[in-house]
Amino acid sequence: MAGPIKLKFVLSGDHVDRLPDVGPEVCFVGRSNVGKSSLINAVSNRKKLAHVSNTPGRTRLLNLFEFDPRPGGLMDLPGYGFANAPAQMRGSWQKMIEGYLLERESLVMVLVLVDGVVGPTKLDLQMLDWLRSVDLPHTVVATKHDKVKSSIRDKRKKEVAKKCQLEPDDVVWVSTVKGVGIDRLRGMIRRWVSFG
Q: Which residues bind ligand GDP (CB under 6 A)?
A: 30, 32-38, 52-54, 79, 143-144, 146-147, 175-177
Q: How far is the CB of 70 from ligand GDP (least distance, A)?
A: 24
User: Can you spell out the DSSP letters for 88-124?
Assistant: HHHHHHHHHHHHHHHH-TTEEEEEEEEETTT---HHH
Beta bridge partners, 115, equal: 143
Q: How far is the CB of 48 from ligand GDP (least distance, A)?
A: 11
**Are 31 and 80 a contacting pair, CB within 8 Å?**
yes
Q: How far is the CB of 58 from ligand GDP (least distance, A)?
A: 7
Cβ closest to ligand GDP, residue 23 vs residue 188: 188
Cβ-proximal residues to 133 (8 Å cutoff; 6+ apart), any chain: none
Cβ closest to ligand GDP, residue 45 vs residue 53: 53
Element (H, E) at 126: helix 122-133
Q: How far is the CB of 194 from ligand GDP (least distance, A)?
A: 26
Angstrom distance (rounded) from CA 92 to CA 94: 5
Cβ closest to ligand GDP, residue 38 vs residue 138: 38
Cβ closest to ligand GDP, residue 36 vs residue 186: 36
